[in-house]
Structure 1
Amino acid sequence: MQHPSPRAPWQLGPRGRRYFDRLLVAGLLLPVLVIAVAGTDPWWTILGFAQIVPLLWRRSRPLAAFAAVALASACQVLVIDSPIWSQLAFPVAVYSAARFGTAAGAWTALGVSVLAAAVATVDWSSSLSLTWARLLPNFLSISAIVITSWALGTVGRTREAHVATLLDRAEQAERIAEREVQLAAQDERSRIAREMHDVVAHGLSVIVVQADGARYAAAKDPDVAVRTLETIGVTGREALTEMRRLLGLLRSGDSGVRPQPGLGDLPHLLDEARAAGMDLEAKLPDPEQAASVPEGVGLAAYRIVQEALTNVRKHAGPAAAVRVAVEVGREVLLEVCDDGRGAAAPPGDGHGLVGMRERAAVHGGSVQAGPAPGGGFTVRARIPR
């Protein structure tokens, strides 16, 4: 099941934010224009524009916008000793400095705001008696407004940072999951490639050997040719069945129904090699021991023996004698030796030896392959159970 990609919470886009800020500034300026038309003190209009217009840059330059609004508010103290409409821009600027600026800028804006609240309290109360009973409630009320604006902006900034962190982690987890799926698919493709190589190489090597023998025997003994052709047919059908099973693994809803071969199938594999003319001696575990081996280990052992016999047909020569020994204990020990002419290519060329080592390594085992001291080639494998 594919999970949906993580999404950020809905918010206005760049264009929407620009329009919102313009409407905010226009809405705050509208009463200023009405006051100007009414013919009141011109300072109301001048300070109104000075305090409100900087909000257009409250997102891109939050601290500079706050500084401009704070400076205009400080100028107000010098010319007007009462609150005016445009001072609503001050808490908006405080919020913007905390919301869109840095933490240091937000704390600076808070300090300036509390100081401005104290100055405004004294300025607006100049006509009254300056007593703590009158000043303190006013100071607390003004401070509460700017502190609330600062707190809302700070919460918004930290929430956005937290959401960004969560989204980054979710995207990273999604990338890791996709990578794991890709690696699993790659491993599966490699496994199927090894299976196909083992099946095709083994089947075709038997068919080629039998076909060559039948060609030479046909002229002297037609009965031998008939038996050889029968072996070719049986081998071809078995290889075709294995190919169909492997291709079934690649189809959706079809995993193949034929059981995987194991140690119990080695006698049939060796009989098939003898029927193809190989001089083969074998020492195998009894059926009860073979049945006690886990399926995965048994399959790996079977494929290693199968590939080793295929290499004997390819490289050892027609007169090579082969000895196969399999022991089952705490580990499955395999040995396939021949007295032929040895490998025709250096170890590591092709897929056969690589596939053997990979199969053993999956189960924590190992494969050693190389020329034997007295001639020929030896493959030894150790696979823990």
Structure 2
Amino acid sequence: MRGSLGTERVESWQRSRPWLADGLLAVALGVLLIPSGVGVLASAPWPLPARAALIAGLVALHILVVFRRVRPRATFVAGSAVLAAFVCIPDATGPQVTQTYGAPVPVVLLPSSIIFCVLLYSVAAHRGSTDSYRALAVAAVGGLLVVVRLWNAEAAAQLPLSMGLWRAMLIPVVAAFVVVPWQLGRLRQVRARYLEAMADRALADERRRIAGELHDVVSHSLAVMVSQAEGARMLADRKPGVVVPALDRIATTGQEAMHGMRALLDTLDPDARDRAPQPTPADLDALLDRARRAGLDIHWDGIDSTATDADIPAAPGLVAYRVVQESVTNVLKHAGPQTSVTVVVRREPAELVVEVADDGGPILDVTPGRGLLGMRERVEAVGGRLTYGRHTFRRPHQGGDVSGFAVRAHIPTGGVAS
């Protein structure tokens, strides 16, 4: 993990300072490679303008490294042109070259030619597939020209190899100088796209989480407010005294919804300090009281705990709260007030079991909406499972069975089952 974080920091630093990072790379390669190349070209018995042009081309090849990421295609084209010139010109000769190397030296074998690999890697890593494959084709043609150029190179005679072995090694070595940097560049691009896709997925997950939180906070409160408003409207003429308390509850519910939304928005601000805590099962009493005031007949006896540890972890507790909240909201929206609802939250040794059942009649051919899908995603995100559908509802205080709808969730709490 530490190595991965270190690599990511280095890459982040390079991405934010491409000119500086590539400038340092160009300087390092120049210090290592340019002196030997300039020595060979300067001592060759060519006209001074030709030697000056070749040395300028050699230096320019190194300068291209500075622009390899900001202009990968242009630098590759320019580098290919310089290498093509190196392939075409005659071998460098002269007393100093012969004394140092023992034979004429093909200019394409100068150490600075390795810059071509850097430029090929860059265009494969930072351009699209079309430019990448075009660069590979150009490199393949260039590699073929290099093989032809070096097939009978006099420099091979200075190596402890026969001409046959030289030729047998020439093709795979040149091919490696083409394929390896190109493949590394492609892998670099695939990795970058993978990380980008993972970042997009994380962003999408966070957006879904926020949408779910907003849905839970706003939908429940609006359902209660609508139910209270409809009740107040129907009773306005017959029982005017009921209207004012109903309006008070509407105002209180609206204020609680605004407070919940403010707390949620605060979680998006890393500098926010006054953040309200997330709800827990301990807050279910207040939630269900609001549902009762909206007209639902709620049967709830508190949390039934059969475990030795009565504490409920924060994440499973929040999920349990949201499941109850969304289920009660759905009863208000689909079955309406005057519906009997039984809520059970049972604390088992290794899980929370949440059950919300109503007698509002079965909902046939249920098409999951945002609420049901959000509940399922929440429960599955913590390793649990959620089921819902038609059921037979037994009134706990009145007796008799009626048809209704139920939601059941099993939420792991990290305990050890007995």
- What TM-score do the two structures reach when normalised by structure 2? 0.60
Identity %: 35
Change (3 A) 1:265 1:57: closer
User: Any idea what SS the aligned residue of 2:254 has?
Assistant: helix
8 Å Cα contact 2:305-2:347 kept in structure 1? no
Structure 2 distance, partners of 1:245, 1:189, is 16
Please state if 1:113 is matched with 2:154. Answer: yes
Structure 1 distance, partners of 2:293, 2:353, is 25
Among 294, 297, 300, the residue aligned to 1:276: 294
Please state if 1:4 is matched with 2:22. Answer: no
Structure 2 distance, partners of 1:357, 1:333, is 14
* Residue in structure 2 matched with residue 302 of structure 1 by the alignment: 321
Larger radius of gyration: 1
Give per-residue Cα distances to partners, 1:8-34, cap 9 Å, x unaligned: 53289xxxx9xx99xx6998422799x
User: Any idea what SS the aligned residue of 1:233 has?
Assistant: helix
Please give the residue correspondences for 1:84-99 in structure 2 after superposition, counting only pairs within 5 Å. 90-93=104-107, 95=109
Please give the residue correspondences for 1:157-236 in structure 2 after superposition, counting only pairs within 5 Å. 172-236=190-254
Aligned length: 310
Amino acid in structure 2 at the alignment position of 1:341: G
* Residue in structure 2 matched with residue 384 of structure 1 by the alignment: 412
Amino acid in structure 1 at the alignment position of 2:311: S
> Structure 1 residue 380: deviation in Å?
0.7
Please state if 1:334 is matched with 2:351. Answer: no
Change (3 A) 1:204 1:108: same
8 Å Cα contact 1:279-1:321 kept in structure 2? yes
Amino acid in structure 1 at the alignment position of 2:232: A
Structure 1 distance, partners of 2:49, 2:259, is 89
Structure 1 distance, partners of 2:408, 2:240, is 40
User: Any idea what SS the aligned residue of 1:90 has?
Assistant: coil
> Structure 1 residue 165: deviation in Å?
6.7
8 Å Cα contact 2:362-2:390 kept in structure 1? yes
> Structure 1 residue 251: deviation in Å?
3.5
Change (3 A) 1:334 1:111: same
Among 30, 51, 65, the residue aligned to 2:47: 30
Please state if 1:267 is matched with 2:291. Answer: no
Amino acid in structure 1 at the alignment position of 2:26: W
Please state if 1:292 is matched with 2:306. Answer: no
Change (3 A) 1:3 1:165: farther
Amino acid in structure 1 at the alignment position of 2:288: L
* Residue in structure 2 matched with residue 368 of structure 1 by the alignment: 387
Amino acid in structure 1 at the alignment position of 2:223: S
User: Any idea what SS the aligned residue of 1:229 has?
Assistant: helix
User: Any idea what SS the aligned residue of 1:378 has?
Assistant: strand
Change (3 A) 1:372 1:196: same
8 Å Cα contact 1:331-1:384 kept in structure 2? yes
Give per-residue Cα distances to partners, 1:226-261, cap 9 Å, x unaligned: 221111111111011011112223335227610000
> Structure 1 residue 221: deviation in Å?
2.3
User: Any idea what SS the aligned residue of 2:104 has?
Assistant: helix
User: Any idea what SS the aligned residue of 1:257 has?
Assistant: coil
8 Å Cα contact 2:345-2:355 kept in structure 1? yes
Amino acid in structure 2 at the alignment position of 1:380: R
Amino acid in structure 2 at the alignment position of 1:313: L
> Structure 1 residue 179: deviation in Å?
3.0
Amino acid in structure 1 at the alignment position of 2:409: A
Amino acid in structure 2 at the alignment position of 1:292: D
* Residue in structure 2 matched with residue 247 of structure 1 by the alignment: 265
Amino acid in structure 1 at the alignment position of 2:359: D
User: Any idea what SS the aligned residue of 2:14 has?
Assistant: coil
8 Å Cα contact 2:43-2:96 kept in structure 1? no
> Structure 1 residue 349: deviation in Å?
3.8
Amino acid in structure 2 at the alignment position of 1:307: E
> Structure 1 residue 218: deviation in Å?
2.2
Change (3 A) 1:94 1:228: closer
Amino acid in structure 1 at the alignment position of 2:355: E
Amino acid in structure 2 at the alignment position of 1:192: I
Structure 1 distance, partners of 2:13, 2:366, is 45
Give per-residue Cα distances to partners, 1:90-115, cap 9 Å, x unaligned: 31436259867759967994874256
Change (3 A) 1:180 1:94: closer
Amino acid in structure 2 at the alignment position of 1:60: A
8 Å Cα contact 1:316-1:342 kept in structure 2? no
Please give the residue correspondences for 1:31-180 in structure 2 after superposition, counting only pairs within 5 Å. 59-60=83-84, 65=88, 69=91, 90-93=104-107, 95=109, 102=143, 109=150, 112-113=153-154, 172-180=190-198
8 Å Cα contact 1:58-1:96 kept in structure 2? no
Structure 2 distance, partners of 1:257, 1:3, is 33
> Structure 1 residue 320: deviation in Å?
1.7
> Structure 1 residue 155: deviation in Å?
11
Unmatched tracts of structure 1, length 5 or more: 34-55, 74-82, 118-138, 144-153
- What TM-score do the two structures reach when normalised by structure 1? 0.65
